[in-house]
Amino acid sequence: MLHELDKSQYGNLKHWFKQPEYARASAVVHFNRDGEVYADRDRDPELVFVNTTNFSYIKGDLSRLKDSGDLRAAFDGIYLKDKTTSKRVIKIVTPSEEWVPAVEDMVKYKSPYIMPYFAYQCDKMTYDWKSRLPEGFKMVEFDSELIDNSTDEKIQDAKGLIERCYWNSREKFFENSGGVCLMKGDTIVSYSFMFYNRGDDSYELSIVTDKDHRLKGFGAITTAACAELALDKAGTVRWICKARNEASFKTAEKVGFKLVRAHDVIFLDLQEAGAK
């Protein structure tokens, strides 16, 4: 029966999540990202499910998933638990396309649908963002002073992501992650977060650009600055986005990220069954 593991048992799973799209699962079992880990047994599990505030990850023996009806009941418990949170959708990442039909069958009564994703990575930043920085703009690293004193309303959105969604506390954000803001005067034009994964010494980046400043190259400048900062501290920077989000993957490609895997993610809406 799939059941939640105690954190003291995570050590046995640190070798499980090596694929680039599993970076967040790896971060959970290496204790630098919040999440829950479920397994079919405590020692030498054959099936593991990692649940985070954003993505969920399944890995192990595919035949175990196909043969065990009790796993559907166990997942129902995870699903119902997530419905009590602010989480809007469960996004299940699988090891390969071969897994997708089996996982879809496990959750078929919850109206699953497929969302294609791209996984990129960068090991060296060659995009010269400093020479592209327009006059009157500046790049600022996130710190408590910026979060507490900025009058830009977008800082509240960033603060919410830091303190309630991705890290659950400012202390965890500064301990394990970080980010940069592109500013014009006191206005935040764009900001990028970097999420650290101790498991493979990598950061995963995200980017937000103000709607009034898009299509002007600011996202690329901010992404490159954050990637440069991340690569000063780690060996690899990763980028995960929906395949249909052309603006996102074009930004990644523009500054030098390379596509390492295209894969399907299984979506389950939590707010309204079957909603798209």
- pLDDT tens sequence across 15-61: 899 888 898 899 899 988 888 999 988 888 999 999 988 899 999 99
Distance (Å, whole) CA 173 – CA 178: 6
Is it the case that residue 128 has pLDDT exceeding 70? yes
Delimit the domains of the chain by residue range: 3-116+265-269, 124-234
Would you state the pLDDT for residue 6? 92
> Which pTM does this prediction carry?
0.85
- pLDDT tens sequence across 222-274: 999 999 999 999 999 999 999 999 999 999 999 999 999 999 999 999 875 44
Would you state the pLDDT for residue 7? 92
Would you state the pLDDT for residue 83? 81
Would you state the pLDDT for residue 201? 87
Pick the CATH number of 3-116+265-269 from 3.40.630, 3.40.1350, 2.60.120, 3.40.50: 3.40.630
- pLDDT tens sequence across 75-126: 888 888 888 877 788 999 999 999 999 999 888 888 899 999 999 999 999 9
Would you state the pLDDT for residue 273? 46
Would you state the pLDDT for residue 112? 92
Domains 3-116+265-269 and 124-234 share a fold: yes
| 124-234 placed in CATH 3.10.20.600 | no
